[in-house]
């Protein structure tokens, strides 16, 4: 069955007890035990809740994994997955990384004896060169945030296997509709489901998926131990959002392609970062591992002043942190998504003070372009 059909027929859409067309919000923290000696499917909602379980099965199926896990936020999913590592372990991570992930690696896990080296992973040789005897993990994002750099997933997974490294990919930008890292040999997929999977800018959530049974068992223990689970109401909203993932992504990708091409021809714009543009360095690799270019692009207006003028002049997009909503969202990485990264680190990575990130929503792309045009002129 195609992905479009599977989105609606995962087997988790119907409530098994009543036949209701949606699994209800089981707003319960605990479950009555008919017989204390008899194991039962649900006991306490941190370990398992039927609404959460339906969502967890859905994301596992869509990513081509065997187990899914729902967390209170994308950062809760990422942080819990990072607890697979132990004191003394060394990690390698992409240097163009989500600010919150950078923060936990450099201000929390470092204190617990887990050290991270950040490298430009667009060249796999940089990963190889950073491997030490105690290197245990590789953390990737492709396309990365906010510069949309592309990493060869199959190549990175192969290199990691040769050296016994556990691989984690943040698949927030592409979603399983466009890209399925587990198919390329990656071990753990994590998501900020706050973005495209939820899709409506009304829920904060995180998801993780594994394929290997033993690894899934370890992550289940960590989810239950750390306890940062997603509540049933938010699980319901995610299940609802996921049903329209394909149509939303298709419309947003169509829009992003048009907007990126338009921006690339504007003289006010110093640079456009979008893997769908043939001029993008990772264009070829991206299209081998992902079915479309995605709905997020970044562009550089050269100076902080110009970027801020544009943000004040636009009328359509939400000027906000976040991405992946039905509405377009314009953000300023320097003070928003990447405020967790010191200025020198940001600049070293090319996240300049003139950089803006646009997540293209479901508005008519011509209206978005007209709005950007008036904002570039009037701003
Ligand atoms: C937003 C985001 C996160 C963090 O997710 P939250 O749901 O905000 O905790 C992690 N990775 C990427 C790529 C993101 O865009």
Q: Is 170 in the pocket of ligand 1 (CB under 6 A)?
A: yes
Would the pLDDT of 260 be above 90? yes
> Exposure pattern of 55-85 as b/e (b: 16+ CB <10 Å)?
bbebbbbbbebebbbbbbbbbbbbbbbbbbb
Atom of ligand 1 nearest to the CA of 205: 7
Residue located nearest, by CA, to atom 7 of ligand 1: 74
* Average pLDDT for 156-170: 98
User: What's the residue count for the chain?
Assistant: 379
Average pLDDT over residues 228-242: 98
Express as a percent the part of the chain with pLDDT over 70: 100
Is the minimum distance from the CB of 325 to ligand 1 under 6 angstroms? no
Retrieve residue 218's tokens.
């370890």
What mean pLDDT, rounded, does the chain reach?
96
Which whole number is the average pLDDT over 19-43? Answer: 94
Work out whether strand 135-141 and strand 166-170 pair parallel, antiparallel, or are unpaired.
Answer: parallel
Which atom of ligand 1 is nearest the CA belonging to 76?
9
Using alpha carbons, select from 310, 287, 313 the residue that is nearest to residue 357. Answer: 310
Helix (H), strand (E) at residue 330: strand 329-331
Partners of 191 in beta bridges: 207
pTM of the model: 0.97
Ligand 1 center from residue 193 Cα (angstroms): 8
Asked if residue 146 has a cis previous peptide bond (ω within 30° of 0), the answer is: yes
Residue 234 in contact with ligand 1 by CB distance below 6 A: no
> Counting atoms of ligand 1 from 1, which one is nearest the CA of 172?
13
Going from the C-alpha of 151 to that of each of 21, 191, 218, 232, the distances in angstroms are 40, 17, 27, 35
pLDDT band at 4 (very low <50, low <70, confident <90, very high): very high
CA distance 340 to 9: 40
Residue pLDDT, tens place only, 55-94? 999 999 999 999 999 999 999 999 999 999 999 999 999 9
Per-residue pLDDT tens digits for 121-144:
999 999 999 999 999 999 999 999
Tell me the backbone φ, ψ of residue 55, rounded to 5 degrees.
-65, -45
For ligand 1, is residue 73 a contact (CB within 6 Å)?
Answer: yes
Q: Which long-range contacts (CB under 8 A, 24 or more apart) does 6-15 make?
A: 6/61, 6/62, 7/62, 7/177, 7/242, 7/243, 7/245, 7/246, 8/243, 10/57, 10/58, 10/61, 10/62, 11/57, 11/61, 12/54, 12/55, 12/57, 12/58, 12/61, 12/239, 13/54, 13/239, 13/243
The residue whose CA has the least distance to atom 5 of ligand 1 is: 74
Secondary structure string (H, E, C) spanning 269-334: CCEEECCCCCCCCCHHHHHHHCCCCCCEEEEECCCHHHHHHHHHHCCCCEECCCCCCCCCEEECCC
- Clarify whether 349 is annotated catalytic: no
Point out the ligand 1 atom lying closest to the alpha carbon of residue 75: 9
Catalytic residue (one of 180, 195, 246, 292):
195
User: Whose alpha carbon is nearest atom 8 of ligand 1?
Assistant: 74
195 is catalytic: yes
Q: What is the pLDDT of residues 291-313, one digit of tens each?
A: 999 999 999 999 999 999 999 99
β-strand partners of 30: 44
**Dist. CA 274–CA 253, nearest whole Å:** 11
**Per-residue confidence (pLDDT) for residue 348, from 0 to 100:** 87
What is d(CA 256, CA 358) in angstroms, rounded to the nearest whole number? 9
Peptide bond into 143 cis (omega under 30): yes
**Which domains, and CATH codes, for the chain?**
3-242 (3.40.640.10), 245-378 (3.90.1150.10)
Q: Which atom of ligand 1 is nearest to the CA of 323?
A: 15
Kindly state the tokens that stand for 200. Answer: 């409506």
Q: Is 239 left (phi over 0), alpha (psi -120 to 50) or beta?
A: alpha
* Interval 164-223: pLDDT, tens: 999 999 999 999 999 999 999 999 999 999 999 999 999 999 999 999 999 999 999 999
pLDDT in tens, 342-357: 889 889 888 999 999 9
98 touches ligand 1 (CB under 6 Å) = yes
pLDDT score recorded for residue 349: 82
Known catalytic membership, residue 371: no
Write down the catalytic residue from 95, 152, 170, 353: 170
Choose the residue to mutate in 71, 75, 79 for probing ligand 1, maximizing ligand atoms within 8 Å of C-beta.
Answer: 75
Q: Which tens digit of pLDDT belongs to each residue from 316-331? A: 999 999 999 999 999 9
Give distance in angstroms: CA of 12 to centre of ligand 1.
Answer: 25
Query: Is 42 designated active site?
Result: no
Instruction: Give the active site residue among 46, 57, 220, 309.
Output: 46
pLDDT at 138: 98
Averaged pLDDT for residues 39-56: 96
Residue 122, ligand 1, Cβ within 6 A: no
């Amino acid at each position: 069955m195609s992905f479009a059909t599977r989105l609606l027929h995962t087997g988790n859409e119907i409530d098994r007890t009543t036949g209701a067309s949606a699994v209800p919000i089981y707003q319960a923290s605990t479950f009555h035990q008919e017989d204390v000696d008899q194991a039962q499917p649900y006991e306490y909602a941190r370990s398992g809740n039927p609404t959460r379980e339906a969502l967890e099965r859905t994301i596992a199926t869509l990513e081509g994994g065997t187990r899914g896990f729902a967390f209170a936020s994308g950062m809760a999913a990422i942080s819990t997955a990072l607890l697979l590592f132990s004191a003394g372990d060394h990690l390698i991570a992409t240097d163009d990384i989500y600010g919150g992930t950078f923060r936990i690696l450099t201000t929390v896990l470092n204190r617990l004896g887990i050290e991270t080296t950040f490298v430009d992973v667009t060249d796999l040789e940089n990963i190889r060169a950073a491997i030490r005897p105690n290197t245990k993990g590789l953390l990737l994002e492709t396309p990365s945030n906010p510069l949309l750099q592309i990493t060869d997933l199959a190549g990175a997974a192969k290199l990691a296997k040769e050296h016994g490294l556990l691989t984690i990919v943040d698949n927030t930008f592409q979603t399983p509709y466009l890209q399925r890292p587990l198919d390329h040999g990656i071990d753990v997929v994590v998501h900020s489901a706050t973005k495209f999977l939820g899709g409506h800018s009304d829920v904060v959530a995180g998801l993780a998926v594994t394929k290997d049974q033993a690894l899934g068992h370890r992550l289940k223990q960590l989810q239950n131990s750390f306890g940062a689970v997603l509540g049933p109401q938010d699980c319901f909203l995610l299940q609802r959002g996921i049903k329209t993932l394909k149509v939303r992504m298709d419309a947003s990708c169509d829009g992003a392609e048009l907007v990126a091409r338009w921006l690339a021809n504007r003289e006010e714009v110093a640079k456009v970062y979008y893997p769908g543009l043939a001029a993008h360095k990772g264009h070829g690799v991206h299209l081998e591992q992902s079915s479309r270019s995605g709905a997020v692009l970044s562009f550089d207006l050269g100076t902080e002043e110009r970027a801020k003028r544009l943000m004040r002049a636009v009328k359509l997009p939400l000027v906000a942190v976040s991405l992946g909503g039905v509405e377009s969202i314009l953000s300023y990485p320097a003070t928003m998504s990447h405020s967790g990264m010191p200025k020198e680190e940001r600049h070293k990575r090319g996240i300049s003070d003139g950089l803006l990130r646009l997540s293209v929503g479901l508005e008519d792309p011509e209206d978005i372009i007209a709005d950007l045009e008036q904002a570039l002129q009037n701003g």
